[in-house]
Amino acid sequence: MKSAKRFQAVLVNSGNANCFTGKAGIKDAQAAAGYLARELKIAQNTVLVNSTGIIGKRLAVAKIKQAIPELVSGLSRMGVHKAKKAIMTTDTFAKEISLSLIIANKPVHICGIAKGAGMIAPNLATMLCFIMTDAAITQAALDKAITAAVAKSFNCISVDGCMSTNDTVLALANAAAGNKIISQGRDLRNFSQALESLCLDLAKLVVIDAEGATKFIRIDVTQAKHFQEAKGIALGIANSVLFKTAVFGQNPNFGRVAAAVGASGFKIKEEQLKIKLGSLKGKQVKLTVSLSRGKASCTVYTSDLTPEYIKINAAYN
């Protein structure tokens, strides 16, 4: 089934990742898309299928087929409030952010929902995110905006450093706002800034809801040679089990940070490295690492690692 250039529907199921199921899994996804397409009277290749949950089990396609008529009849402008709950797995709360801005004297709205709490690492995570806007915007401009927004938000968070098989961020626009079409210039910059803000707020909610977490940790790496260096070192710290457990135990052992910087693959001299670790007593912890070798910086968000995380994942099946 070839993808369309424009899409009209998204079909999501939770509890089953439909991954490591071979050709049968592909056929199951195509069948589910076909059932929804026929009910909506649209082309099958305009349906986007998303799944999250257990790996290695076939989709219950018959149950999906049975549920589709009710789902379609229940479509509503207020349906996002049900959708954000339906996509949850180990999440403890639903995640939604909405905002509005003015484009060429027209109000434009952006709404995003996401799920994710564990197996969260940049580029591949057990995370689904669906962003909807009524903006009139070209496909190229929307692609540019969402790519930039993801780079500074969802790709700058880590809960446990573990990647997953199911990782999706979709941005859909229907042009209902009636604004002048966004393609470049100031309108695109304003839209992109708003989209980046929304994505970052959603990404932070994922970290706040991290499995078993008691701390929300912000890591600022500054004065790096370039962004890649700053991000690599920030993620190295964020994914350090020793650092994360030290934060949980409120143990201000900055040696854990120094070790993570040294293991990052970037050669930092001892006299260049400056570490400032804030109080570990509250729920929010801030760590600043200065490298004294440039002007680039990156901020990464992570959580502590707790015994509760082990309990949740030891029992997940």
Beta bridge partners, 84, equal none
Count other C-beta atoms under 10 Å from residue 260's C-beta.
Answer: 23
Instruction: Encode burial over 261-271: b for 16+ CB neighbours within 10 A, e otherwise.
Output: beebebebeee
Packing angle, helices 139-151 and 185-208, rounded to 10: 40
Is 89 marked active-site?
A: no
Cα-Cα-Cα-Cα dihedral sign, residues 258, 264, 267, 272: negative
Residue type, 209: D
Max CA separation in the chain (angstroms) = 66
E-only strand ranges, the chain: 9-16, 47-54, 95-103, 106-115, 127-133, 157-158, 167-173, 216-224, 274-277, 284-290, 296-303
**Distance of alpha carbon 248 from alpha carbon 5, whole angstroms:** 47
Long-range contacts of range 222-225, CB-CB < 8 Å, 24 or more positions apart? Answer: 222/288, 222/289, 222/290, 222/291, 222/297, 223/290, 223/291, 223/292, 223/293, 223/294, 223/295, 223/296, 223/297, 224/291, 224/293, 224/294, 224/296, 224/297, 224/298, 225/291, 225/293, 225/294, 225/296
CA atoms within 13 A on the CB side of 122: 18
Active-site pick, 52, 126, 133, 306: 126
User: Which residues belong to the active site?
Assistant: 126
